[in-house]
Structure 1
Amino acid sequence: MEHLVVKWLAPVLLAVAVLAALPPAAARAEPVRLVALGDSLTAGYGLPAADAFPVKLAAALKARGHDVVIDNAGVSGDTASAGAARLDWSVPDGTQGVILELGANDALRGIDPVVTEKALDAALAGLKQRGIPVLIAGMLAPPNMGADYKARFDAIYPALAAKYGAPLYPFFLDGVTGQGPTLNQADGMHPTAAGVDVMVVKILPAVEAWLATLKAGKAG
């Protein structure tokens, strides 16, 4: 009888040993949690939710083997100042990285670049204080704002990237602006779903390089 009990217990004890060797749930790999903080270009103005930039970027990253979750914290109409003002509640605790895309509305409204830079600086300082790395998605002022305004505005993003040691993707709408109705909505400012696809393809290498640094920091 004792022999039968031992024979029956053997596989049970083996299973318990295997389970004990597994890492606890808290220690298992979890997705990298990102927030895309921006304006209508991030929010997906004029598009179904599934075609918004953060959704398509997350899908592209997952297709390339990256386990990520990207929260869409885009608010249409936001200036850099408005985005910075809602930073604390738009970027929850546990966020491991922020894609910061703000300033397009500032340029369209002709807001003094000094004001825009101050707001973006405040946002970057706040995220740095919280230990959250940032990928800056830059913006360029339209030519009709004049050469002086454009020069001052366009210089904001490289300057802040250098100040905070943050990677810079120079122009969020690269490959889309001025490319006609296939990639731009009727207002000529917001991308179509096809335009978002182009944006994702263009920015993907920069995001992947940034993700590698986030994962290295997480592992360290």
Structure 2
Amino acid sequence: MKFKAVWLHVIVIAGTILSLLSPAQAKTLQIVGFGDSLMAGYQLASSESYTAQLEAALKAKGHDVSIANAGVSGDTTSGGLARLDWSVPDGTDAVILELGANDALRGVSPEETEKNLDAMLARLKERNIPVLLAGMMAPPNMGGDYAQRFNGIYQKLSQKYGVPLYPFFLDGVVTQANLQLEDGMHPNAKGVAVMVERSLPTVETFLKSLPTHR
């Protein structure tokens, strides 16, 4: 009996050591796509939205992620700031922040847009939530002066907060009618696929920089 007791003790100790030496179980990254109709997937099926297609693309490349869609059609940076805290729950590992297009369409002062985005980045930094900032460009009809003041916002804030920047969320889509809905403003499902394909390298680099990434 004493012999059996000794071996049982040895087995328990060995099991404890092995559990300590084995790598921690991978954790699913909880990401929030926070933005406007471009993030929400205006007039698209939920499976065709940017967050859904990006999640699928990342999983296909071996990333264990879950991307919540916190896009609200028509949202401005002011609206985003007002709902930020409850739209990005505790436990969120990262945020893809995409706002500003509706500000430009409505002629909101670029200084106001910058102020709101700055406040959002500051709040997320306080919560220790890493951010990938998605940039936007002012439409041509707003004029050169407005565009100059607006378009530089994202690079400036990226540098201020040390967050990665994907310069133009609609890259590859904005001038392609076949990739847009009939309104000529929002991407269709194929357009979203292009957006995902083009932004994927930046998103992957961002994920690999996260302290929670395995």
Superposition TM-score, scaled by structure 2 size: 0.90
CA distance, structure 2, for counterparts of residue 148 and residue 219 of structure 1: 42
Within the candidate set 5, 24, 28, 2:25 is matched to 28
Q: Are 2:123 and 1:126 aligned?
A: yes
**Pick aligned residue for 1:150 from 147, 152, 172:** 147
Partners of 2:204 and 2:165 in 1: how far apart? Answer: 13
- Can you give the 5+ residue segments of structure 1 that lack an aligned partner in the other structure? none
Amino acid at match of 2:56: A
Equivalent residue number for residue 34 of structure 2: 37
- Could you tell me which residue of structure 1 aligns to residue 170 of structure 2? 173
SS in 1 for 2:197: helix
* SS of aligned partner of 1:218: coil
Per the TM alignment, residue 28 of structure 1 is displaced from its structure 2 partner at its CA by 1.9
Corresponding residue to 1:90 among 78, 87, 93: 87
CA 1:19–1:38: 2 relative to 1, 3 Å: same
**1:1-220 aligned within 5 A:** 21-22=18-19, 27-180=24-177, 182-214=178-210, 217-218=211-212
Alpha-carbon distance, 1:152 to partner:
0.3
In the TM superposition, what is the alpha-carbon distance from 1:208 to its structure 2 partner?
0.5
Deviations 1:135-167 (A, max 9, x none): 000000011100000010001100100100011
Contact preservation (8 Å) 2:29, 2:213: no
How many residues end up aligned between the 2 structures? 206
What is the CA–CA distance in structure 2 between the aligned matches of 1:19 and 1:48, rounded to whole Å?
A: 48
Letter in 1 for 2:188: T
Specify whether residues 192 and 219 from structure 1 end up closer, same or farther in structure 2 by C-alpha distance, changes over 3 A only. Answer: closer
Distance (whole Å) between structure 1 residues aligned to residue 147 and residue 84 of structure 2: 26
Q: How far did 1:21 drift?
A: 4.2
Aligned-residue offset at 1:16: 11
Q: Matched residues in 2 for 1:16 and 1:45: separation?
A: 57
Deviation for aligned residue 1:128: 0.3
In the TM superposition, residue 15 of structure 1 has moved relative to its aligned partner by 10
Q: CA RMSD in A?
A: 2.1
C-alpha separation in 1, matches of 2:213 and 2:180: 40
Counterpart residue type for residue 136 of structure 1: L
AA aligned opposite 1:195: G
